[in-house]
Structure 1
Amino acid sequence: MVWKGRLLHQDDIFELRSTLQLFQEISNRVEDAMGAATVAGIKGAELKFITSPAGEVSILKSERERERVVGEANEMRRKYQPSKGAGVHRYHEKHRKEGKSFDRQQFH
């Protein structure tokens, strides 16, 4: 089961990388178009038409970044909460055993 999880995780990483590459290509093309428009002296409605996709791409980038940060935080929480719980359980188990041995030494 562990290897299936690893494969799924690798597929997710590959899909995310391809999506990020696509967004990077789109943003590069929009920046090139905006640069060419300013060199050509385009103003008014045409420039607004060019800059609107740039704004949408920047919004998508910020949303992706926010989702990535939230996803990483959730992943860290999922990874470390069970181990923290296991550590607490081991701590209490150890002290419970020590307490019993201490009681036995005291009374026997």
Structure 2
Amino acid sequence: MPELLARLLADLADQAPPGGWAANAPRRWFFPGVRPGRHISASVLSRRLAAHHIPIRASRTTALVQLAQDLPPAIFAPMLGLHPITAQQWRRRAATDWTAYFEARSTSRAPGGDTTGA
């Protein structure tokens, strides 16, 4: 976790009253929203993180690729509210197919097996 984000989260946790916020007591949201019993919206959280120069898109992409590597699309699509086709596209993006790498390596080699480039 980036140091700036860790510091902001620690500050947020320190601001909580001892018994939690009364409106959010049953479900103690980490990012409570303005409306009682609701969490903060994704767009508001995105704006707040951006205000502190914390990148969101790269982290989201990394998390989705990792999930796509670990779980089948039929499992993580409903978990995240993704369409099954979108989940399948993330799976393809996360695929670890090394054939293109091996082909690029074999075609980039100099004649005679010399890979020094000299």
Point out the structure with the larger helix share. 1
TM-score (norm 1): 0.31
Larger Rg: 1
